[in-house]
Amino acid sequence: MWNKRKNIIIVILVLAVLIIGGIFIFSTFYHSHQKPEEPKSSMNEERTRKSLEDVNKFLVQKDEERIQSFVRRRNWNMQKTGSGLWYKIDENKEGPEVKDGDYVKLDYEIRLLDGTLCYTSDSTGPKIFRVGATEEVTGLHEGLKLLSQGDRARLIVPPHLAHGLLGDSQRIPARAILVYELTVREVSPDKIQR
> Is the residue at 159 inside a domain?
yes
Contact between 133 and 98 (Cβ < 8 Å): no
pLDDT at 31: 55
How many structural domains compose the chain? 1
> Is the residue at 131 inside a domain?
yes
Q: What is the pLDDT of residues 146-161, one digit of tens each?
A: 999 999 999 999 999 9
Q: Could you list the residue range(s) of the whole structural domain that residue 79 is in?
A: 59-188
> Is the residue at 12 inside a domain?
no
Q: What is the pLDDT of residues 9-40, one digit of tens each?
A: 554 644 554 465 555 555 555 555 555 555 66
- pLDDT band per the 50, 70, 90 thresholds, residue 142: very high
**Of the listed ranges 28-32, 56-60, 62-66, 127-131, the one predicted with least confidence:** 28-32
In CATH, what number is assigned to the domain containing residue 130?
A: 3.10.50.40
Q: What percent of the chain has pLDDT over 70?
A: 79
> Is the residue at 51 inside a domain?
no
> Is the residue at 8 inside a domain?
no
> Is the residue at 194 inside a domain?
no
pTM of the model: 0.76
Q: Which residue has the higher pLDDT, 140 or 28?
A: 140
CA within 13 Å, CB half, 165: 3
Which residues fall within 8 angstroms of residue 118, CB to CB, at 6 or more apart? 110, 111, 112, 171, 172, 178
